[in-house]
Structure 1
Amino acid sequence: MIIDKLYKSVEEKGFVCVGLDTSMDYIPENIKNMSSSVEDIVFEYNRQIIDATYDITGVYKVQIAYYEAMGIEGLKAYSRTLKYLRDKNCISIGDVKRGDIANTAKEYAKAHFTGDFEVDFITLNPYMGYDSITPYMEYLKNGDKGVFVLLRTSNPGAKDIEYLEYNNEPMYYTIGDNIYKMAQEIIGECGYSSLGFVVGGTYSEEAKEIRERYENSFFLIPGYGAQGGKAEDIRLYLNDFNGGVVNSSRGIITAYKKVEGGEKKFQECTRDAVLKMRKDIYGEEKLQG
C-alpha cells in the first residue's frame, strides 16, 4: 500500500515534506535567464530543489494553486514535476484541497490519481459532507493512492469553523471521528491508514489528544517555521519521528535569499535548509543516536 511506502520513506529519509509552492518571485534570476518559457523555468527550479534534497526528504507536496495561476505553462510544469518525482522514486502529495461530491468528485479523483496530474496522495476538504470523501475510496482500497483530509488546520481562521462547539467539543473532532471510522478499512502493514489527516502544527494544546485519538492516522503537518510551529510542538504529533510528515515550503525553497551570494549556491542552500529543519525537530540526541 502507498501508506507503507510513505512510512518506509520517512523511516529512511526523514519526516521532512518539501513544499513546492513555486512562484516566479521565488526563482533565482540565473534560472529565469536560462529560458523564455515559464514551463521550463518553473520545472528547472523544481528539478534543482528535488535533486538537492531527495535523499533527505520523505515526500514532496506540490501546491497546485501556484501552477494554475501561471496558466497552461504552469500546469505543464506541474505535470513535469510530478513525472520527475516518479522517475526519482519520490512520493508526491498533490495539495489540491478538493471538496465536491458525486460525479464531480469522481472526476477530481480521476484527474489527480491518473493521467497528467497523477500523484500518490491528495488533500481533501470534508466540509460538504462525508460523501465528498467516499468517491476517492475506490483508489485507496486498491492500495496505490492515499488522501489527507483537513482536520484542524494551521491558519488563524481555523477557529471560525473548525473550533465551533459541537457535542461539547470542537467540531473538528466529530468530523475526525467519522472519517477515522472510514480509515479503518484501509490499514497498511505499517499500522497506519492511507486515509490520513492534515493537522496544523501551530497549536500545541490539543496535540497529545489528537495523536492519541487518531492513533493509526498518518498526519500531514503544515505550520512549521514561517507559520509559527515550533519543533517541540511538532514532535507531539509524531510517533518516534514517524506517523507524519512535516511540511515546509518557503523556508526551504527560498532559503538561498537569506545567504549572501545564495543565488549561486541555490542547491546547497536548499539542502542546508532541509538539514537544519531535520536537526531542529530531531534534536541533537536523536541525530547522534
Structure 2
Amino acid sequence: MRNFADCLVRKIDEMQNPSVIGLDPKLDYIPQHLKEYAEQLFPEEPTKATAKAIWLFNKEIIDQTCDIVPAVKLQYAYYEMYGVDSIKTMLLTARYAQRKGMLVIGDCKRNDIGSTATAYAEAVIGKTDLLLGDSMAMSGFDACTVNCYLGIDGVKPFIDVAKRDGKGVFCLVRTSNPSAGDFQDLELSDGRKLYEAVASKVSEWGEEMIGEEGFSSVGAVVGATWPEQAVQLRKEMPNAFILVPGYGAQGAGADAAVAGFTPNGKGGIVNASRSIMTAWQARPDFFKPEDFGKAARYEAENMKDKLNEAILHRKYVIQ
C-alpha cells in the first residue's frame, strides 16, 4: 500500500534536496514573450490567453527543475483568480509534474465538516463517482493542505481518503504570516498555546499513517518565520512530516527553515515560490527573459545548497 510520507522521504533522499517549488503564478512573473505568444494564439479570448501563458511558464520551470527538486506545490488561489481556463491549467500542471516524477501538493487549505469535507477531500486527493459507472480523480494531487480549526470533524474525511488512496494531508499548525499569533498564540487553561494543542492533535491523528520511513502522511504546516516554535513543535509531533512555508521572499533563511527537522535532518520540506518564479527578474544582468527556466533552476540549486548547509550546521537544535 502506497504511503505518501514514504514516497516523499525517499524522493528527498534520492535528490538530496528537501525543497518544494511553489508554482503560484501571476502575470507579473511571466516574461513578456510568453504573454505575447499566448495573445497571438487567442487574440479575442483573454482567459484562454492567460491560461496558455501560465501553462508555458509552469511547464518550462518543471522541465528545468524536475531532476533536482522532488515536489511542486500549487496554490489554488493563483489559478482560481484567472478563471476556469487557468484552473484547467493548474490540473494540467499537476499531471505534467507527476509524469516528470515530481510529487504534487495541492495548497487549498480546505476547511468544512461532514459530507462537504468528504466532497472536498475526494475532489482534491481522491476520486469521484460519475455516470456510466465511471470513477475519476478530478485533481489527482498527492497531498493537500487543510485548516483544522473545526477539529477532527473537518479533518477526518481528508485522512480517510488519504489512507484509502495513499495520499497526504498537511494540517495548518503554525503559519508564517505576521498576525498568526492573534489566535495561534492564545494561552489555554492548561498553559499551552493554541498552536501547541493543535500540534498534539495532529500527532494523534497521524499515528495510524506512519510509514516505513518513520513519518506520518498526516503532516503539519509550520512556518519558517517561527524557528523557536518549530523546534518545540517537533517535540510535540515527532513523526509528523512538516511542510515549511516562509522561506525566501517571505523573509526566512535556511537556518530557520530547517529548525523543525529531526536531529538527523529529515522530516521536513521547505517551500519557495516567488524567489524561484522571479529568479530571472532578480538577476537581469545574468539572465535574459527567455532564460527564466534556467534562472529558476539556478535559484533552486542555490536553495538546495543553503538548506543542506543549514542541516549540516544546525543553528536551532532540539534539546
How much has 1:112 moved relative to structure 2?
0.6
How much has 1:142 moved relative to structure 2?
2.2
Structure 2: which amino acid aligns with 1:200?
A: G
Structure 2: which amino acid aligns with 1:199?
A: V
Task: Give 2:46's aligned residue.
Answer: none
Task: Give 1:181's aligned residue.
Answer: 204
TM-score normalised to structure 2 length: 0.86
Preserved CA contact (<8 Å) 2:122 2:161: no
Aligned match for 2:296, one of 246, 270, 273: 270
Q: How many residues align?
A: 287
Task: Give 2:146's aligned residue.
Answer: 124
* SS of residue paired to 1:237: coil
Structure 2: which amino acid aligns with 1:26?
A: Y
Aligned match for 1:162, one of 175, 184, 190: 184
* 1:85 and 2:87 are equivalent in the alignment: no
TM-score normalised to structure 1 length: 0.95
Aligned match for 2:306, one of 271, 274, 280: 280
Task: Give 2:223's aligned residue.
Answer: 200
CA separation of 1:233 and 1:28: change in aligned 2, threshold 3 A = same
Q: 2-side partners of 1:200 and 1:171: how far apart?
A: 15
Gaps of 5+ in 2: 40-48, 128-136, 314-319
CA separation of 1:143 and 1:118: change in aligned 2, threshold 3 A = closer
Structure 1: which amino acid aligns with 2:277?
A: I
Q: 1-side partners of 2:89 and 2:210: how far apart?
A: 33
* 1:29 and 2:32 are equivalent in the alignment: yes
How much has 1:92 moved relative to structure 2?
0.3
Aligned match for 2:277, one of 243, 253, 256: 253
Aligned match for 1:50, one of 43, 49, 62: 62
Task: Give 1:150's aligned residue.
Answer: 172
Greater than 3 Å deviation, 4+ residue runs: 284-287
Deviates more, 1:240-249 or 1:192-201: 240-249
Task: Give 2:12's aligned residue.
Answer: 10
How much has 1:257 moved relative to structure 2?
0.3
How much has 1:212 moved relative to structure 2?
2.1
Preserved CA contact (<8 Å) 2:202 2:237: no
* SS of residue paired to 2:145: strand
CA separation of 1:76 and 1:169: change in aligned 2, threshold 3 A = same
* SS of residue paired to 1:42: helix
How much has 1:152 moved relative to structure 2?
0.4
Preserved CA contact (<8 Å) 1:15 1:241: no
Compare CA radii of gyration and give the structure with the larger one. Answer: 2
Q: 2-side partners of 1:259 and 1:68: how far apart?
A: 29
Q: 2-side partners of 1:144 and 1:98: how far apart?
A: 19
How much has 1:143 moved relative to structure 2?
5.0
